[in-house]
Chain A
Amino acid sequence: MNTIWRKAIRDFWHERARTALVVLAIALGISAFAAVLSSYAILTRELDRGYLATNPASAVFRVDSIDDELVKAILQNPEVSDAEPRRSISGQIKAGPVQWRNLVLFVVHDYGNIRVSKLVPEQGAWPPATGEILIERDAFQVAQVNIGDAVFVKTANGVEQPLVVSGSVHDVGQAQARMENIVYGYINLDTLVQLGEEPRLDQLNILVAQNRFDEDHIKRVVADVETVIKSRGHQVRRIDVPRPGKHPHSDLTGILLLAMSSFGLFVLVLSGILVINLLTAMMASQVRQIGVMKAIGGTRGQIARIYFGQALFLGIAAVIVSVPLGIIGSRALCRYMAMFLNFDINSFAVPWWVYLLVAVIGIAAPLVAAALPVLRGTAVPVRVALSDFGLSQTTFGASAFDRALTRIGGTFSLIVLAIRNSFRRRVRLVLTLLTLTAGGLFFLSALNVRASMINTLDHMFAAGKFDLSIFLARPYEFEKIQRAIANTPRIVSAEGWFVTEASLVSRFTVVALPADTKLLDLEIIEGRNLAPGDTDAIVVNNVLAGREAKMRVGETVTLRIEGAESTGRVVGVAREAFSPAVAYIPLSSIQHPEMINSLRLALKNTDADAISLVKSDLDRNLEREGVRASGSSSKSERRFGFDQHMLMIYVFLIVMSAIIGGVGGLGLMTTMSLNVFERRREMGVMRALGATPRIVWLMVVAEGVVIGMLSWAIAGLLAWPLSKVIGNLLVRMLLHGGLDFTFEPLGLLIWLIVSIGLSALASFLPAWKASRVTVREALAYE
């Protein structure tokens, strides 16, 4: 190794404490990036691999009934490799005194021969015997049951029956039960009969023979299959073609992890700022050495190589530290996401390209950051470099800004000195503020986004003036239901709605409700709301208006609702956050306005116990009238699901702000350490003039705190617009909605305390070192 490289290494060793700080800061950035990138690679691979292992259906047909002949006829098509009938039926489940929970029951004809959309048995019995039910592993918490417990189950047309929970299964393709607040149960055909339902199957899962991941090909095969089904006199109620080979949550996971990756990169950029700070200070302190090296024959390129070598060392050291940290972080993140999305990870193996990318970016980032200080530092002419007497000679007071600063305070004090000192190295100050402010911005944004999400949800739930929704097994006469309601205490008001689906270009929900509804107060953003006397008016929400070109105010559209065509005119657009596409029409405009399939109830008391009581009373009274409820949903249950989705975004922002705050703290520590290093002589003079070590210590800490408070002020000013942008971006990406923005003032106070604490902590060590320097050492230092 030649002396050039020896110098590079020894200079760093000489400044090992500062070097370690910068390596740590870069490592933090790379770790965050590596963790997220590894998680992205692992999760997307495992999610799709786990999903594909279940042999997911290429398409799902909902048909009136399926028999062996129909399956055989479909399998005649060489493009169809498999077709398997099932049934899914909604119902309710109850264990002990716990209230009824919404249930989706899957009926499988032959558990020993599931070939499409396979289930993975987890614990207990397999297959379920007659009188038994298996529960999806994530739904046990929702149902509040254990294996071996007896539960009561009732379906739309059947009778309430006791079943035994005999085991658990993992159904990879289902949305997370806890998030949806729903129970997935699995029974056989005989149990279905026990529950009072007809022993028929109505869902057909088909698998295409070739080009399994070609959506267009699948759609062509689906059209052929549909023709076969119809030609045999069956009705096709609905066809779903899921995205081929992709888990239903694959996109959501990808977007979330990509967002995290970009923030990881952002942290890396911020840690690069520390490299700029370190190398700028190092170049400045070595100007004379650079002059000497040039004087004895060193070219600019040779000298620049020394400092680029140091940047390279920073990058390599940081990558070595951060790769294991990143792997540990990615495992934690993967486990959390897997639990969140209800799937298993078989291998945490990180693909080679992740290591390569992390190494390249980790090593390149400090090199890029070093470019400017190194190129500027080595460009100093030899004569100028040789006549440099060190940084302590830099003058303060030359610029108008310096003179303006001297007006602050007026009398000499520790704070005045701290403020002026903090502005001496302005580029360094700006770079340090950048990292600290970024931490503050993310923290404040996290709190603002959280407050805005709560605000948005508050608005959204305020539009619905009902506390409880009851879904009926089929349409019933409202007259019967009104009798049941009249006999149920603690119901303040009730409306019967008819909820169904229609389609134009896409499928959307149609809600037929009284035109003068008192239980839904839509936020109209264009046109008007439904009004009494309306017969053909349609109000669409912003989601539907955005999706369907025809759904514009003033347009006339024909909708096919429950087999009958209904023509209406769009009179208004309503804003509904986090909502599916919905069209609202007057109940009077549908073919049988006296028949409703959904109830909205405003209650006297809205606590969980009171709602539960009303539900059970109403359920009993409806049964007496021959009306069967298939499910229910209270306002708080719906809110819980939304809160869970929001929590994910909020936690992500808080974690990011903690990491960026950490990098900012390390940056401030580096800055303070450089400031102290450069002003050792000055501190010696102060000590010689009578300043105690404590005064010197306080002076440095105060300087750090001034920088911390400056970053707080800037973060506070920028937080408003930035929170709005970040919040809207995240919510739009993940939940396809916008935010009702609100500012969280408490965040300012919390971040002020954190800023002061962090900056005092970051300055503590440099201040302690500064206070320990003896007068002789400080004055002798060159």
Chain B
Amino acid sequence: MITLNQVSKTYETPAGKFAALKDIDLQIQPGEFVGVVGKSGSGKSTLLNMVAGIDRPTSGTVDIAGTAIQGLSENKLAVWRGRNVGFVFQFFQLLPTLTAAENVMLPMDFSGSVPFRERRKRAVALLERVAVGAHADKLPATLSGGEQQRVAIARALANDPPLVLADEPTGNLDSVTATAILDLFRDMANRGTTVVIATHEAGIARVIDRRIEISDGAILKQ
């Protein structure tokens, strides 16, 4: 279970203090598919970063399956993320000099959770699951946006994490591809993975279990 308790995040900017999150209280159940919806700058990404341990709250606590992640060091957080969190970015963020399969193998190499000889097999299987198995040995630059995002999703699943976070995963895709990608996330949730998506997509309601609306750093509705 994911529990955010009175989480606030304030950034120091040249223009003064900026409150990105204000006293957020949130609970997400295992296997739940949650959509965090809001306008640009509303605090969606910051909220996701808190859950992923990418950013630390100014105050409050973030507890993921019994681990208070705000107390972990950067290195421990990286190790924890590698095993527990899959992350999908808006601009895919595949490493340009690695093939699709190698991009998927990278988290396995980092965490060492999958035996070395099985890594490629698993990567190809994951790529096939997201329907890009045929592109396993291609470099990202030769793939379309939708294909790159499918590879990124396969990478997020590399270590079979209980939690997948996606920040605007369809923001850079056409509507047909976006629909297909959202279906992949639904499929993931159906298999028991907790999925949290930050998006402003109108079509998200079709796939998610719960919608959390956020504005100016505060949850309006959940």
User: Interface on A for B, CB 8 Å cutoff?
Assistant: 2-4, 6-7, 10-11, 13-14, 288-289, 292-302, 381-383, 386
Contacts and interface: CB of A to CB of B under 8 A. Distances in A.
Contact of A292 (B93, B119, B159): B93
A187 to B, nearest CB: 77
B109 A295 contact: no
6 contacts: A2-B109, A3-B102, A3-B105, A295-B52, A295-B81, A297-B85
A381 B52 CA distance: 13
Contacts, number: 87
Contacts of A382: 54-55, 74
Given A3-B106, A6-B102, A383-B49, A297 B82 contact: yes
Contact of A297 (B74, B95, B111): B111
A11 B78 CA distance: 23
Contact of B97 (A11, A288, A301, A386): A11
Contacts of B89: 292, 295, 386
Interface string B111-138: 1000010010000000000000000000
Contacts of B93: 288-289, 292
Given A3-B106, A6-B102, A300 B54 contact: no
Nearest to A295: B87
A4 B86 CA distance: 18
A3 B120 CA distance: 10
Question: Which of B49, B93, B98, B110 has the most chain A CB atoms closer than 10 A to its own CB?
Answer: B110
Given A2-B109, A3-B106, A297 B81 contact: yes
A4 B54 contact: no
Interface residues of B, number: 34
A381 B53 CA distance: 11
B66 to A, nearest CB: 19
Interface in B77-102: 78-79, 81-83, 85-87, 89, 93, 95-98, 102
A499 B170 CA distance: 100
Contacts of A13: 97
Question: Which of A6, A13, A14 has the most chain B CB atoms closer than 10 A to its own CB?
Answer: A6
A293 B110 contact: yes
Contacts of B55: 381-383
A349 to B, nearest CB: 43
A297 B54 contact: no
B44 interface: no
B193 to A, nearest CB: 15
Contacts of A298: 78, 82, 106, 110
Given A292-B95, A296-B107, A2 B116 contact: yes
B97 A297 contact: no
Contact of B78 (A4, A6, A289, A300): A300
Contacts of A4: 106, 109-110
A14 B78 contact: no
Contacts of B158: 296
Contact of B79 (A10, A299, A386): A299
Given A13-B97, A293-B106, A296-B81, 5 more contacts: A2-B116, A3-B102, A3-B106, A295-B81, A297-B79
A321 B110 CA distance: 33
Question: Which of A3, A301, A302 has the most chain B CB atoms closer than 10 A to its own CB?
Answer: A3
A301 B89 CA distance: 23
B155 interface: yes
Contacts of B110: 4, 293, 296-299, 302
List the 4 closest pairs (A to B, CB-CB), nearest first: A297-B82, A10-B97, A292-B93, A2-B109
B75 interface: yes
B54 A383 contact: yes
Contacts of B86: 296
Contact of B95 (A2, A7, A302, A386): A7
Contacts of A302: 110
A297 B110 CA distance: 6
Interface string B60-79: 00000000000000110011
A383 to B, nearest CB: 4
A297 B159 contact: yes
A296 B79 contact: no
Interface in B155-174: 155-156, 158-159
Contacts of A3: 98, 102-103, 105-106, 109
A289 B79 contact: no
Contacts of A11: 97
A7 to B, nearest CB: 6
B97 A300 contact: no
Question: Which of B78, B93, B116 has the most chain A CB atoms closer than 10 A to its own CB?
Answer: B78
B172 to A, nearest CB: 12
B126 to A, nearest CB: 13
A318 B75 CA distance: 33
